[in-house]
Amino acid sequence: MKKMKKTIAAIFIAMLMLVVNSSCAYCMADFVSFMATSPREGALTYMEEKYGEKFEYINSDGTSFINTIYIYVSCESLPGKEITVTVDGDIRSPTYSDNYMEHYFKEQVEEYMSNVAEDYFDEFTLTSGVMIRSSDNVYLGMTFDEYLQNEPKTIWGSLKIADSDEETVREFVYELKRLGLHFSFDITILSVEERYSASYYNDSDDIEIYMKG
């Protein structure tokens, strides 16, 4: 009789362990599926509601364990652009930000900056970068002038000049300040192999410019 009770108990424990293991495996699979789809779907919904068009998922980086996930998406209005949606915070109550407007105005920024540079340099190449997220004050429908003057918007990128000198470089960056722009640029004078870093942020007292080693 005792032997039978032990056998029944062993069978019961084995069945219980099987149920527990199956349940855990199901929960883990469900969690992994949630992790893979929830940030993606949340990002797509956020973008479609904010900009009024359909977005397609491209790829993603990061995990919720570090509280930041980057979702890369595309849309018809910005062909060939990989837009970043940043998902911050707890995965069940995330906050979203994006750099759609950075891509939207990128070519206009480069054209504007190039027009300013033409008054100071004969031959140069200027490229602007794309911030990983736009400020909260940036919105679809704002004018280009509003975008440029927006606080705390910073234009950053690189300027490679065929031939010039430090004095002219300084004149150029102070003209940017006079125009009300905030910026962070790497500037290279190719003829003399001199590199400068020039920056002026919304909370700066003045331009910071120095030669790089």
32 pLDDT more than 50:
no
Write out pLDDT tens, residues 39-59. 899 999 999 999 999 999 999
For the chain, the domains span 2-98, 101-211
| Span 204-213, average pLDDT | 92
- Report the C-alpha gap between 157 and 102 in whole angstroms: 13
- Report the C-alpha gap between 68 and 43 in whole angstroms: 12
> According to CATH, what is the number of the domain 2-98?
3.10.450
pTM for the model = 0.77
Structure tokens at 108: 């206009």
- Report the C-alpha gap between 119 and 172 in whole angstroms: 8
Write out pLDDT tens, residues 86-139. 999 877 788 999 999 999 999 999 999 999 999 999 999 999 998 888 877 889
What pLDDT does 92 receive?
76
The better pLDDT of the pair 6, 138 is held by 138
190 pLDDT more than 60:
yes
- Report the C-alpha gap between 57 and 72 in whole angstroms: 6
User: Closest Cα partner for 165 from 126, 122, 127?
Assistant: 122
Query: What's 101-211's CATH class?
Result: alpha beta
Q: Using the CB atoms, write b or e for 180-209: b if 16+ within 10 Å.
A: ebbbebbbbbeeeebebebbbeeeeeeeeb
